[in-house]
A and B are shown apart, each in its own frame.
Chain A
Amino acid sequence: MSKSIQSIERAAAVLRLLARGPGRLGVVELAGALGLPKGTVHGILRTLTGVGFVEQDRGSGKYQLGAALLHLGTSFLDVNELRSRAINWADALASRSGEAVRIGTLLEGRALVVHHVFRPDDSLQTVEIGQLLPAHACALGKVLLAYDRAAATALGRDLERYTQRTLTTAAGLGPALAQVRERGWAADVEEMTVGVAGVAAAIRGHGGLVVGSIGISGAVDRLCDAGGTPRAGLVGQVQDAARAVSRELGHRW
């Protein structure tokens, strides 16, 4: 076994002390209990506060366990928070690419549309926020499945068919998701709707955790070249937008 990381052990000890509760603890009390310098404990608390595992009381300045710990494993980032942080970059992507933009998160194995920007041609379109898309058949969903093995496995062996090109087996989807992880973006070319293609990339939060996906979708002849491959320029724009939103959410490369 490789050497354990001391600062993570110390952070765990801080969390254990705070979990003993019920009261809040100050830096001095925590440092005393752990036999560590105040500055070290303060640094650990600041980091834990940054990721939401610890909260500081405004009045007393003392610390307690944060709300994010209670929701570990469920929703890491509120979807409405995600929309509000991503909205400028989603607009910019729609404006640059000329295509409709969606942001998705995973909900019970499907891709929930949490934000939708119209294609900027002023044609009649309706807001699709709240729609659930089949994750295996769209780029938005494939990105989410690629970074969530449990969700991908839970889909089962046989997947619903939408077009001739839908990947309908786990055996077919697996390599496609591996490819997404390898190149950092996903595509669907007429896999959900005939004539429509999509390109998406991952939105990452603190520590690199994937919290959503952002992508464009539109007519296959606009998004893809004659050979049916997504145009490199558009893929780059989608990846730029994903990086910008990730930066907004505090992800550092």
Chain B
Amino acid sequence: MPVTDYYVLAIDQGTTSTRCILFDHLGRLVSVAQREHHQHYPHPGWVEHDATEIWRNVRRLVPQALAQAGADAGQVAAIGIANQRETTVLWDRRTGVPVGRAVVWQDTRTDALIEELAADGGHDRFIDRCGLPLATYFAGPRIRWLLDATPGLRARAERGEVLFGTMETWLIWNLTGGPDGGTHVTDVTNASRTMLMDIATLEWSDELLDGIGVPRAVLPEIRSSAEVYGKASAVLPGVPIAAALGDQQAALFGQTCFAPGEAKCTYGTGSFLLLNTGPEIVRSSHGLLTTVGYKIGDDAPVYALEGAIAITGSLVQWFRDNLGLINSAAEIETLALSVADNGGVFIVPAFSGLFAPHWRSEARGIIVGLTSYVTKGHLARAVLEATGWQTREVVDAMNADSGIALTTLRVDGGMTADNLLMQFVADVLDVPVVRPMALETVSLGAAYAAGLAVGYWPDLEGLRRNWHRAGQWLPRMDPDLRAAEYESWQRAVERTFGWHRIGR
């Protein structure tokens, strides 16, 4: 069969749903099958997923995606996985059953543990080794918490009876046979979010394992982002599983940000701005994370600076589900357009603290500037503007750390369908905002990496040629207004600090 008869399958295992997408040789989306999974909130600040439910969804979705495209399993050249990062699951090696629900990246249950670890050397005590500050965000401390919280689990873990994985590890293990010889691997991008990997050697670090309290026996083998990890035995028997990347790194790859200085921001539940820094490990002094961008097979790793914003799309969901002021997320734009401006209102969505560039886990959300003039339309504006201003803070930090001012922002993710928001982002950044034709860059990145690994695509240059501009927004906000509004936003942010008292 000619190459055009083959597809690459991407599995995007995200925070709210799992999607299976088939791409053709020109990187075009051929079919999509999607299914949401349950969000469990057993206590304030806790967020859990059922890893078994997610694996069940993958098994259902893959055949659906194939059927939609009228393709059979023999036409799938490779499988690539992109996944929600830092979400932590432990399972029994023998039975394949998770020891409990997966602890999701938004979960803040490790806050007391983080303070305990930081008491000896501060929040930055591991930053030179792993590139990350101590925060509830990352996976390693979650493993420690689970081992501490479950009687007998640590002993079982030390005996090698329990395996740890982020979602790509869990899926690869199950796809390759699970208890019957499943392959226990992770990739460098996901491993770089555990706080357990040495960012320079790309190996698990004894210093970090000891410091955080995680036994080596639970950990998967660290591999590159694009190589054949094994062949699927379930779902698509015989098809090589050839890529895994954390979702944000996958989006960087899907946006073809292959050169140092190229950056993208993905607007989803949270939003994540990643800047390619090439082979250089750039240390941030402005609250950004140093992370692995990708590593293709035996090539040298490509590093990235990351600005992580915890709450963007999920603020819109909160506005819809908890306040009930809109029926669908897209209606936020309609409501926001019913007024001309924010009416003086700012919403800072520090629902579980603030991520980059502040890293204040004790901050909590506020709405300020309320007067009797304010309507729900103004609140809708403030919801969208919160995403714009948080982007601005991260871009400012990135410009300061890299020493180069961003000239264009490539955007993707569901919120880029919001035209008002994209214009606002261009306005507050004062640079053009560009949307590529393939909005599903997370899935596309996983597909690209998998396709490269099996020779479906020859090289990075070929992938670049698939990138096209689908939309562009140019800044048109008055500079004085921009400065005044930004100043108000920053004052609003300060008012969120110090609200939550840990342990109470």
Interface residues of A (CB under 8 A from B): 67, 78-85, 87-88, 91-92, 94-96, 116-118, 120-122, 125-127, 129-130
Report B11-42 CB contacts with A as 1/0, cut-off 8 Å. Answer: 00000000000000010110010000000000
14 contacts between A and B (CB under 8 A): A78-B327, A80-B333, A80-B334, A80-B417, A80-B418, A81-B331, A84-B417, A84-B418, A88-B32, A118-B470, A121-B468, A126-B472, A127-B419, A127-B471
Interface pairs A-B: 5 shortest CB-CB: A120-B468, A84-B417, A81-B330, A84-B330, A80-B333
* Most B CB within 10 A of own CB, among A91, A118, A121: A91
- Cα of A145 to Cα of B328 in the assembled complex, Å: 27
17 more A-B contacts (CB under 8 A) besides A78-B328, A87-B416, A87-B439? A78-B331, A80-B331, A80-B332, A80-B334, A80-B417, A80-B418, A81-B328, A83-B417, A83-B419, A92-B28, A92-B29, A95-B438, A120-B469, A120-B470, A122-B469, A127-B472, A130-B419
- Cα of A148 to Cα of B447 in the assembled complex, Å: 43
Q: A95-B468, A117-B437, A118-B470 are in contact. Are A67 and B29 (CB under 8 A)?
A: no
Give A121's nearest chain B residue, CB to CB.
B468
Asked whether, in the complex, the Cβ of A127 is within 8 Å of the Cβ of B473, the reply is yes
- Cα of A112 to Cα of B334 in the assembled complex, Å: 14
Q: Does B440 contact A (CB under 8 A)?
A: yes
Give B32's nearest chain A residue, CB to CB.
A88
Give A87's nearest chain B residue, CB to CB.
B417
Distance in angstroms from B54 CB to nearest chain A CB is 22
Secondary structure class of chain A's binding surface, majority of residues: helix
Asked whether, in the complex, the Cβ of B471 is within 8 Å of the Cβ of A88, the reply is no
- Cα of A121 to Cα of B467 in the assembled complex, Å: 10
Asked whether, in the complex, the Cβ of B439 is within 8 Å of the Cβ of A67, the reply is no
* Most A CB within 10 A of own CB, among B26, B327, B437: B437
- Cα of A92 to Cα of B436 in the assembled complex, Å: 11
Asked whether, in the complex, the Cβ of A117 is within 8 Å of the Cβ of B417, the reply is no
Asked whether, in the complex, the Cβ of A95 is within 8 Å of the Cβ of B334, the reply is no
Residue in contact with B470 in the complex, picked from A94, A126, A129, CB distance below 8 Å: A94
Q: Does B414 contact A (CB under 8 A)?
A: yes
Residues in B with CB closer than 8 Å to A94 are 437, 470
- Cα of A79 to Cα of B468 in the assembled complex, Å: 25
Asked whether, in the complex, the Cβ of A117 is within 8 Å of the Cβ of B32, the reply is no
Residue in contact with A122 in the complex, picked from B26, B332, B468, CB distance below 8 Å: B468
Asked whether, in the complex, the Cβ of B418 is within 8 Å of the Cβ of A96, the reply is no
Q: A78-B330, A84-B414, A96-B28 are in contact. Are A129 and B419 (CB under 8 A)?
A: yes
Give B416's nearest chain A residue, CB to CB.
A87
Residues in A with CB closer than 8 Å to B440 are 88
Residues in A with CB closer than 8 Å to B28 are 92, 95-96
Residues in B with CB closer than 8 Å to A92 are 28-29
- Cα of A96 to Cα of B470 in the assembled complex, Å: 13
Residue in contact with A95 in the complex, picked from B328, B418, B437, CB distance below 8 Å: B437
- Cα of A85 to Cα of B470 in the assembled complex, Å: 16
Report B291-332 CB contacts with A as 1/0, cut-off 8 Å. Answer: 000000000000000000000000000000000000111111
- Cα of A87 to Cα of B416 in the assembled complex, Å: 10
Give B28's nearest chain A residue, CB to CB.
A95
- Cα of A9 to Cα of B214 in the assembled complex, Å: 65
Distance in angstroms from A186 CB to nearest chain B CB is 24
Asked whether, in the complex, the Cβ of A116 is within 8 Å of the Cβ of B471, the reply is yes
Report B402-424 CB contacts with A as 1/0, cut-off 8 Å. Answer: 00000000000010111100000
Distance in angstroms from A249 CB to nearest chain B CB is 12
- Cα of A82 to Cα of B331 in the assembled complex, Å: 10
Report B95-117 CB contacts with A as 1/0, cut-off 8 Å. Answer: 00000000000000000000000
Asked whether, in the complex, the Cβ of A91 is within 8 Å of the Cβ of B472, the reply is no
Residues in B with CB closer than 8 Å to A91 are 29, 437-439, 470
- Cα of A87 to Cα of B334 in the assembled complex, Å: 17
- Cα of A18 to Cα of B472 in the assembled complex, Å: 47
Residues in B with CB closer than 8 Å to A67 are 327
Asked whether, in the complex, the Cβ of B439 is within 8 Å of the Cβ of A88, the reply is yes
Asked whether, in the complex, the Cβ of A117 is within 8 Å of the Cβ of B470, the reply is yes
Give B417's nearest chain A residue, CB to CB.
A84
Asked whether, in the complex, the Cβ of A80 is within 8 Å of the Cβ of B330, the reply is yes
Give B467's nearest chain A residue, CB to CB.
A122
Residue in contact with A120 in the complex, picked from B32, B334, B418, B437, CB distance below 8 Å: B437
- Cα of A92 to Cα of B328 in the assembled complex, Å: 24
- Cα of A85 to Cα of B334 in the assembled complex, Å: 15
Distance in angstroms from B7 CB to nearest chain A CB is 14
Distance in angstroms from A113 CB to nearest chain B CB is 11
Residues in B with CB closer than 8 Å to A125 are 469, 472
- Cα of A122 to Cα of B498 in the assembled complex, Å: 47
Distance in angstroms from A86 CB to nearest chain B CB is 9
- Cα of A122 to Cα of B419 in the assembled complex, Å: 20
